[in-house]
Chains A and B, each alone.
Chain A
Amino acid sequence: MEFFGLYNYWVFAVLLMIGLYTVMSKANLIKKLIGMSIFQSAVFLLYITMDKVEGGTAPILKPGVDGQIYSNPLPQVLILTAIVVGVATLALGLAIVVRISESYGTIEEDEVREIDRE
């Protein structure tokens, strides 16, 4: 049972590191942005994992039912904000990548650095 209870956290750790590896070592700028997106999604997974209560249900109050256990609504609020902010950041990042591609003609990071050095 220990394994099942902790599997979410292990998947979070693996996804976080996959995202970080993509940002660190891939040279293509759009690949880096996708890696950043994976990184953010892993953090969302961690928070939403923490909000589940055994035997609970979604935190929408049903008026007639008494003694119903509800899952924790607080991490959900934080992650709602975070998802939308993540997409806003992605949009800005992609706009900058489009401009870089038009100015330098390429979106590989080392080629951009080469052109800059000249």
Chain B
Amino acid sequence: MQIALDIASWTLLIAGGAFVFTGGLGALRMPDFYTRMHAASLTDSLGTILVLFGIALQAGVSLAALKLITITLFLLLTSPTAAYALANAARLSGVNPEHVVATNEQR
């Protein structure tokens, strides 16, 4: 039982780390502000949830696991809101996406 929990923990932690790393890579290499925001915010939300679940599995059924679940819920609420607020602020200050794709011919 302990081995199964450990393997599950490790998988979740490594997956979470891989997602966060991908997000960081995307934030560096993407060409435009909005695509960078997309990369950073999506992968960060998922990555932190996976990492926190991996740690919560290690804590067993206890107060620490409950606190970790609460933190996960809080992050689920605030992380996308922060991304939305940032993108909205950029749009309002006039940062435009680089390539405007949809034209009449492609409709």
Direct A–B contact in the complex, CB atoms closer than 8 angstroms: no
